[in-house]
């Protein structure tokens, strides 16, 4: 995990060393739910998630970094026979070069305000009884920024993913395995709801099948939708707008990690959550 954090920091620093940030936003959040799911596990899982997020804009585009620390209860054990829950670290980094910022004239058409080129990566590490994921994934493709109140970005990306799991049940370590290159249609949104102090936010990823997995099974296309309705509670005590927010969240993840939910228990999650966020 140390290597993942170092890589994330270097990438973010490289993108912005030559230009000072025009704007930046950093937040710390906590969310929790009791109906998470993991493939091959028939039990509902409780998870507490700590989230550190940073977004910034500079002369040529934007940076986005997110770290989730996911702490499971004992129904997702940390190893075979353990009474403690698994721990997972998941890092996402994205950098977008925006056509309008580079050329001085936005490449807009119809409802699209501008077009950009996005590249980045996902990294994770997890200690659990059955899989111990060590995912690495590169992401690249065009992003379309829509002209709407708030934010709506939609992208079409290629994914280059690999993993090197280890099973504590069989004590077998799988050499790093590379899946077929596969597509993803991804959307990110944040819509203020008038003057209500509410904001509807989230992301949706529709991911194509990635060929055979490391055990020779066919993978299935994934749908991962994570959305939240957040209220600016800080304004009730005259705090800076969006300083303190709280709300409800929901995640729907079908065929998680490419596992076919028609034949694999726990491969689809329907998870309500509560969330609290502090913005620096």
Cα atoms found within 13 Å of the Cα of residue 237, Cβ hemisphere only: 5
**Regarding beta strands 166-167 and 182-192, do their DSSP bridges make them parallel or antiparallel, or are they unpaired?**
unpaired
The dihedrals phi and psi of 154, each to the nearest 5 degrees, come to -125, 130
Kindly state the tokens that stand for 197.
């102090």
Q: Would you state the pLDDT for residue 107?
A: 97
Q: Would you state the pLDDT for residue 62?
A: 97
Kindly state the tokens that stand for 269.
């999650």
Closest to 136 in 3D by CA, of 157, 159, 163: 163
pTM listed for this prediction: 0.91
**Residuewise pLDDT in 10s, the chain (280 residues):** 444 444 444 444 444 444 568 999 999 999 999 999 999 999 999 999 999 999 999 999 999 999 999 999 999 999 988 999 999 999 999 999 999 999 999 999 999 999 999 999 999 999 999 899 999 999 999 999 999 999 999 999 999 999 999 888 778 889 999 999 999 999 999 999 999 999 999 999 999 999 999 999 999 999 999 999 999 998 888 778 889 999 999 999 999 999 999 999 999 999 999 999 999 9
Kindly state the tokens that stand for 99.
């056509």
Superfamily name with CATH number, domain 2-275: Nucleoside-specific channel-forming protein, Tsx-like (2.40.230.20)
The Cα–Cα gap between 7 and 2 comes to 9
Q: Would you state the pLDDT for residue 19?
A: 52
Q: Would you state the pLDDT for residue 43?
A: 95
Closest to 248 in 3D by CA, of 234, 228, 227: 228
The Cα–Cα gap between 251 and 29 comes to 16
């Amino acid at each position: 995990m140390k290597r993942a954090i170092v890589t994330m920091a270097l990438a973010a620093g490289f993108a912005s060393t030559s230009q000072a940030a025009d704007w930046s936003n950093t937040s710390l959040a906590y969310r929790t739910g009791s109906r998470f799911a993991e493939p091959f596990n028939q039990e509902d899982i409780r998870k507490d998630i700590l989230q550190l997020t940073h977004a910034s804009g500079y002369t040529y585009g934007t940076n986005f970094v997110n770290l989730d620390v996911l702490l499971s209860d004992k129904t997702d054990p940390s190893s075979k026979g353990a009474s403690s829950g698994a721990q997972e670290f998941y890092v996402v980094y994205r950098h977008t070069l925006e056509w309008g910022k580079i050329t001085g004239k936005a490449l807009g058409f119809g409802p699209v305000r501008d077009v950009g080129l996005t590249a980045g990566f996902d990294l994770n590490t997890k200690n659990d009884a059955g899989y111990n994921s060590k995912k690495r994934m590169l992401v690249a493709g065009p992003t379309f920024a829509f002209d709407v109140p708030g934010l709506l970005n939609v992208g079409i990306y290629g994914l280059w993913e690999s993993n090197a799991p280890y099973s504590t049940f069989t004590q077998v370590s799988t050499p790093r395995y590379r899946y077929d290159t596969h597509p993803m249609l991804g959307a990110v949104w944040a819509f203020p709801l008038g003057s209500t102090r509410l904001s509807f936010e989230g992301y949706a990823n529709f991911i194509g099948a990635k060929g055979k997995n490391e055990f020779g099974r066919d993978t299935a296309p994934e749908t991962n939708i994570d959305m939240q309705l957040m209220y600016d509670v800080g304004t009730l005590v005259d705090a800076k707008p969006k300083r303190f927010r709280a709300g409800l969240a929901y995640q729907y993840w079908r065929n998680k990690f490419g596992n076919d939910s028609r034949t694999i228990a726990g491969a689809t999650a329907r998870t309500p959550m509560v969330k609290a966020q502090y913005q620096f």
